[in-house]
Structure 1
Amino acid sequence: MAITVSLVALFGLVLFFLLRSKSLGAGSAFVAAGFGFFLASTGAARPINQLSQSLIEAASNL
């Protein structure tokens, strides 16, 4: 659970800085956030979480 919260914070910061630098419009940021929200409620959420955990474990073993 701690991994999920930190990834949400990381992606939130990335979206914030993209909005601030005007590389991403407000509509696109809303669509990206909505896509992530709805993706989390599908069957794809578990494999995505497992993939992120595996990548984080692999990075920590380097």
Structure 2
Amino acid sequence: MLVSMSAVLLLGLLIWFLLRIRYLRWAEVLLSGTFGFLVAKTVAAPFVTSALKGVSGFLGQLHL
């Protein structure tokens, strides 16, 4: 749950920033959000969750 909350926060901040510099329009954000909610209800949801956990685990092990 912590990984998904971090991803949601990070993606939310990215969308806010892109809206702020007028790179995205509101229609695109609503379409992307709707697509995300629909994907969460499909069979692909466990795959997406495990992929996000794998990426976050990899990034957590990096020592820069």
- Assess same fold via TM > 0.5: yes
* Larger RCO, structures 1/2 (Cα 8 Å, 6+ apart): 2
TM-score scaled by length of structure 2: 0.88
Identity over aligned pairs, percent = 31
Q: Which amino acid aligns with 1:15?
A: I
Q: Which runs of 5+ in 1 are unaligned?
A: none
Structure 2 residue ranges without an equivalent (≥5): none
Q: Helix, strand or coil: the match of 2:17?
A: helix
Deviation at 1:61, TM superposition (A): 2.2
Q: How big is the alpha-carbon RMSD for the aligned residues of Structure 1 and Structure 2?
A: 0.9
C-alpha deviations, 1:9-52, integer Å up to 9, x for none? 11111111111111001101110111111111111110011011
Say yes or no: does 1:58 pair with 2:53. no
- Aligned pair count reads 62
Aligned partner of residue 32 in structure 2, secondary structure? helix
